[in-house]
Amino acid sequence: DMVSRIGELQQNAWALTDHGTTSGLMEAYKETKKYNKEHNTSIKFIFGMEGYWIPNYYIKDRKESCHIILLAKNETGYHNLLRLATIGYGDKGNKPDNFFYTMRLTTEDIIAHKEGLIVSSACMGGFLNPRNGDEWDYDLAYDRAKTFQNAFGEDFYVEVQCATDDKQKEYNQNMIDLATDLGISAYVTEDSHYINKDEADTHRKWLGIGEDSDYYQTDDYYIHSEQQVRDSLSYLDDTIVNELIEETGRVASKCEQVEIPFGEKHYPVFEVPKGETPLSQMCKLVADGFKKKVVGHVPESEYPKYKAQIDHEIKVLDKIDYTNYMLMTEDFVRGCHDLGIRTGIGRGSVGGCLVAYLMDITRIDPIKYGLIFERFAHDK
């Protein structure tokens, strides 16, 4: 529905920046690609995340965690975005202090993985809105902005948003003033938590927000048309509004369409002896297994049945490009046996594969027990 609305508005790009997670990016990317194919459009999907910035990890105060927007300009940025998400959640146990109620990132983390990323100041909960009581702390905001400006240069932006309550208007003006003082580009974004304006009340009820809460009390957190953006910023000078909108377009243009390939094989390639191919190497292992496990162990009259099944399976496994996979599996199973590491006799559908049995990957004779190879692999 989000992509459809963006298409209806004839907008050419959008970014998903969920709070502290990249888990929704792949679905959004696929939906955008699907919509483009069905409607002959070229909407660009920008991979992003609204991370949680913290001065340092040893602060155990949720109020000190502030929002920060990270956008991927290219494939390198996309991978750094995923890396930062991992770091923010504790870096696989290496940095347990990183996580405190939410994922958290320091300035140092972000700068260390800055290549290919755009950073912006996010919403009123962002790191450029430090408060000293009821007053905005300009000096602290200036210092933080200067640090990121020095690190990211023209890839650091100050962000203005479309809500129309007094606090947002004050914040927007503060951000414009800060951007002017530092020579940082400002752009306008939509903090869209739902699609259409009439869904605002449903959104508040869904989140359990009461009437006395400061959260989302305006109906402005929807996907805006350009005219709706202009209307929401009508209290600003037209020249400023024009520049904000144009800068948003420039940010989108900076971001390449990161293409995620599907269906590719990224596992290692097993090294076979010189002059051999994976298929010939597999056939040798199967032939050795036939001599060890079939000859002298089953009636000679059964040999043709085994040979016919071997020929059938090898043709299928070669056709569907399983030979490399079978050699790798044989290698680590044999390594386990050599090191005294116990392995099972054969788990799941591979129990029906005679080739796996003869390669000593499994230890159940599928011919003896009438097991079905096609549960494991087939060429249709």
Which pTM does this prediction carry?
0.77
CA-based torsion, 205, 3, 250, 68: positive or negative = positive
Residue 258: C-alpha distances to residues 26, 70, 217, 266 (Å): 11, 15, 36, 18
CA neighbor of 148 nearest in space, from 104, 103, 182, 98: 182
Residue 347 pLDDT grade (very low, low, confident, very high; cuts 50, 70, 90): confident
Q: Higher pLDDT residue, 58 or 215?
A: 58
Please report, as a single letter, which amino acid is at residue 175.
M
Residue 1 neighbours by CB under 8 Å, 6+ apart = 195
Residue 320: C-alpha distances to residues 211, 279, 280, 323, 336 (Å): 60, 12, 16, 8, 27
Give the β-pairing of 66-72 and 44-53. Answer: antiparallel
Exposed e or buried b per residue across 59-95, where buried means at least 16 C-beta atoms within 10 angstroms of its C-beta: eeeeebbbbbbbbbbbeebbbbbbebbebbbbeeeeb
Tokens read off for 226 = 């350009």
* Three-class HEC string of 238-266: HHHHHHHHHHHHHHHHHCCCCCCCCCCCC
pLDDT tens digit sequence for 117-172: 999 999 999 999 999 888 999 999 999 999 999 999 999 999 999 999 999 999 99
